[in-house]
Structure 1
Amino acid sequence: MNEWQEVTLQDVVTILGDGLHGTPKYVDDGEYYFINGNNLRNGKIIVNELTRKASVEEYNKFKKDLNERTILVSINGTLGNIALYNNEKCILGKSACYFNVRSDVDKLFIKYVVTNRRFQKYIDVYAHGTTIKNVSLKTMREYPFSLPLLPEQRAIAGVLYSLDDKIDLLHRQNETLEALAQSLFRQWFVEEAQDDWEIGSLYEAIALVGGGTPKTSEESYWGSEINWLSGSDISANHKSFINVSTKKITQEGLDHSSTKLLPRFSTVITARGTVGKYCILAEPMAFSQTNYGIIPKFENSFFFTYLLIDHSVSELMSAAYGSVFDTITTRTFQEFQINIPSVHEILVFEEQVNPYFQKMKVNQEQILTLEKIRDTLLPELISGRVRIKEGKEAD
């Protein structure tokens, strides 16, 4: 490790700063998205229908020197989210730190330096603020780490990137499979809805299940037996399979609380806080009272039920545009009208989409395995505890 040099982040960048301390003038038809730390996820800048926009004039007032060498890190509120800038049309807010990696340093290597748990722990420890945590630019600049020679930087980044590339491919496959299932749902039950179908409420087509939380003061209720979902678990796995929860409860905790154990392939949806996020269970799981569990009204039609919720939430969100959609109650499901097809048509549809969801589940399991390998390798490679032989190429 004699050839590894001790440096700080300041040493390997040409500029390090943050975004606008304030807000631009928003316009609905603006070309430029206003980006903050919560728009940075999994190495990418993420925008959606709720991301505010601004005009080119506002961009020219507040633009930063973003280019192909730029890495973004969230430093206010949500800490440590990472993205590579990829020519997105955006204006940075103050919770997004940006820095441009020097041309003689491998950008991907530095991306993995700031993805590493050591950096994440560093910014968490040195953040200030009680209600909303903030990391200063000075703290960012002073982060110390070891830097190998450029060929080894590239080799390390290559190994880690090959894993990330496989993970990204599987995510994109799942997005395609879900889009196919959604398209088939719209075709069968929206575009080609039959005149003789019954008009009813969404509540009549599903079975709602309430959740609960075991007493946190009872240590015997909390353990490693049963996955127990919070709203943040569901939000983090929005529109995908969820395989594991952040917290787990024991059988005793399940038996002595109002939480319920949902069967595999059930849908769960957030009802308060960040409302309208939903996912599908890869395994039986319990859940908190800030969410609803949704199981089929019609036998074994789990995937039809998930797609029905997917379609209905999109419609509900569209109807709420410009107003506050801050809670989901039983009444929300009772007041939303849908066409209810025959049980036979639902079960035939279920058979059609079943292979899509089974493949999505397998892909998600592979993603978790690859992420575990990457997360195990990353700190070992970045620290130099595990070395890559010279000339070794990533698969």
Structure 2
Amino acid sequence: MKNWKFCSIGDQITLQRGVDITQKNAHAGEIPVISSGGISFFHDTAIDDGPGVIIGRKGSLGTVYWSPDPYWPHDTTLWVKDFKNNNRRFVYYFMKTLKTKNLDVGSSNPTLNRNHVHPLSVIWPPLKEQEKISEILSLLDDKIDLNRRTNETLEAMARALFRDWFVDFGPTRAKMAGEAPYLAPELWELFPDRLGDEGKPEGWQSWPLADLATLSKSSINPAQFSDEYFLHFSLPAFDKAMMPDLVKGEEIKSGKFSLPRNSILLSKLNPETPRVWMVTAHEEPYQRICSTEFMVLNPLQKDWLALIYCACLSQPFRETLQGMVTGTSKSHQRVQPLAVMQTHLLHATDILMRQFGLTAQPLLAKINFKRNESNTLAQLRDLLLPRLMSGEISIRDAEKMVEDAA
């Protein structure tokens, strides 16, 4: 910690309150409007050219966002107007360690005042060490982001294959049109030559979800195991890059579902926003649990895991769920699990469902490998972040830990 100095946050950066704008008043564009909850919508004008750091000021207090490009900081945020020649990425990571709970000045809605942030005392490293710290942490975040983008491509490939086979009936339609085969001969011959009276391939049957999977309701109260750690698959964790949180049992205040290997989580809440999570075999020493807002589906055959996952994400099934919701509040509409289990999932034959699993499962296995890798890297980042910022761990030791993880 040589040459680190005691100072205030205001000595190092200047925070500015964001600028109010509503989606109704925004103009079509590519500039993200970043609120305390993240990107809310887009506009054609930027307040800052970026790269920038934005902090939740109201509502979601203390959330921290990095914008590499021009952006509009919403009124519910604070943004760094002046970095005072500090490394911008370092400032982003530093602000993620800021404890904001004691700075809340709101009566009913949590609120953060910049005038209460500026005077806070901190220990601040020189620019050269800022750059090294941000480089270490950025290496982990960049790898996580690469995995995310790779997974988006892999999932799009699996879902496109499902849509072609079981929604658009592409091979059968191609046969009817006299087009050349575009699948391997042994697969091509499995598809009927024509559609039946109902517009489905001849000989295909309807499969409800209950014929493909069971609904698991095995529950656990993590608070009874206060010293144990659990991998918690929650709705917020899903929305946050689909990475479960590692949480101590004593911190979990309600009952959860236990997760068996090779299961699929289907959210009951607000099906308008699809949340489908595949949980495969794992090597972590932690027990896996999930929110009771999820349905836990266990395929009746191991070859059906990829099939059920893609079917639950398909447009026809999603539209069916949206028509089954109960509840008057738009934000808390739910589907009934027993009704969902009786819902038609797809038309197919048993042999084609197995073939789809053999084709798509390797793609989804890669997704889960990269997702688990990202989860490990995120845990390492979260471990290193406060220790690097406080000088508790040396840059050399942190570099070694990242090198071993990569």
Q: TM-score, normalised by structure 1?
A: 0.74
Could you tell me which of 153, 168, 183 is aligned with 1:191? 168
Aligned to 2:267: 270
C-alpha contact (below 8 Å) 1:75/1:134 kept by paired residues:
yes
Compared CA separation, residues 351 and 3, structure 1 to 2 (3 A): same
Residues 184-209 of structure 1 show CA distances to partners (whole Å, capped at 9, x for unaligned) of 22222222255225464754554352
**Amino acid across the alignment from 2:279:** L
Look up the SS of the partner of 1:264 in the other structure: coil
Instruction: Note the 1:312-351 alignment, pairs <5 A.
Output: 312=315, 315-316=318-319, 324=330, 326-330=333-337, 333=340, 339-351=346-358
Could you tell me which of 303, 307, 314 is aligned with 1:311? 314
Distance in 1 (alpha carbons) for counterparts of 2:54 and 2:366: 33
Compared CA separation, residues 337 and 154, structure 1 to 2 (3 A): same
Unaligned runs of 5+ in 1: 40-45, 250-256
Aligned to 1:353: 360
**Amino acid across the alignment from 2:384:** L
C-alpha contact (below 8 Å) 1:270/1:292 kept by paired residues:
yes
Could you tell me which of 201, 223, 228 is aligned with 1:224? 228
Distance in 2 (alpha carbons) for counterparts of 1:103 and 1:314: 53
Could you tell me which of 127, 139, 148 is aligned with 1:150? 127
Distance in 2 (alpha carbons) for counterparts of 1:246 and 1:82: 21
Paired positions, count: 356
Residue 113 of structure 1: how far off its partner (Å): 0.5
Compared CA separation, residues 269 and 26, structure 1 to 2 (3 A): farther
Look up the SS of the partner of 2:93 in the other structure: helix
Distance in 2 (alpha carbons) for counterparts of 1:106 and 1:228: 34
After alignment, is 291-300 or 356-365 more displaced? 291-300
Residue 106 of structure 1: how far off its partner (Å): 0.6
Unaligned runs of 5+ in 2: 173-200, 324-328
Compared CA separation, residues 95 and 103, structure 1 to 2 (3 A): same
Distance in 2 (alpha carbons) for counterparts of 1:317 and 1:190: 14
Compared CA separation, residues 206 and 163, structure 1 to 2 (3 A): same
Aligned to 2:213: 207
Look up the SS of the partner of 1:3 in the other structure: coil
Aligned to 2:16: 16
Distance in 2 (alpha carbons) for counterparts of 1:102 and 1:215: 46
Aligned to 1:253: none
Compared CA separation, residues 206 and 233, structure 1 to 2 (3 A): farther
Residue 301 of structure 1: how far off its partner (Å): 0.7
Distance in 2 (alpha carbons) for counterparts of 1:11 and 1:317: 56
Residue 28 of structure 1: how far off its partner (Å): 9.3
Fraction of identical pairs, as percent? 19
Residue 163 of structure 1: how far off its partner (Å): 1.9
Distance in 2 (alpha carbons) for counterparts of 1:336 and 1:132: 41
Provide the alpha-carbon RMSD of the alignment: 3.9
**Amino acid across the alignment from 1:196:** E
Distance in 1 (alpha carbons) for counterparts of 2:59 and 2:316: 27
Distance in 1 (alpha carbons) for counterparts of 2:27 and 2:204: 38
Residues 321-341 of structure 1 show CA distances to partners (whole Å, capped at 9, x for unaligned) of xx9472122476378655411
C-alpha contact (below 8 Å) 2:51/2:88 kept by paired residues:
yes
Distance in 1 (alpha carbons) for counterparts of 2:14 and 2:296: 50
Aligned to 1:42: none
Q: TM-score, normalised by structure 2?
A: 0.72
Compared CA separation, residues 155 and 327, structure 1 to 2 (3 A): same
Look up the SS of the partner of 2:95 in the other structure: helix
Compared CA separation, residues 37 and 365, structure 1 to 2 (3 A): same
| Higher gyration radius (CA) | 2
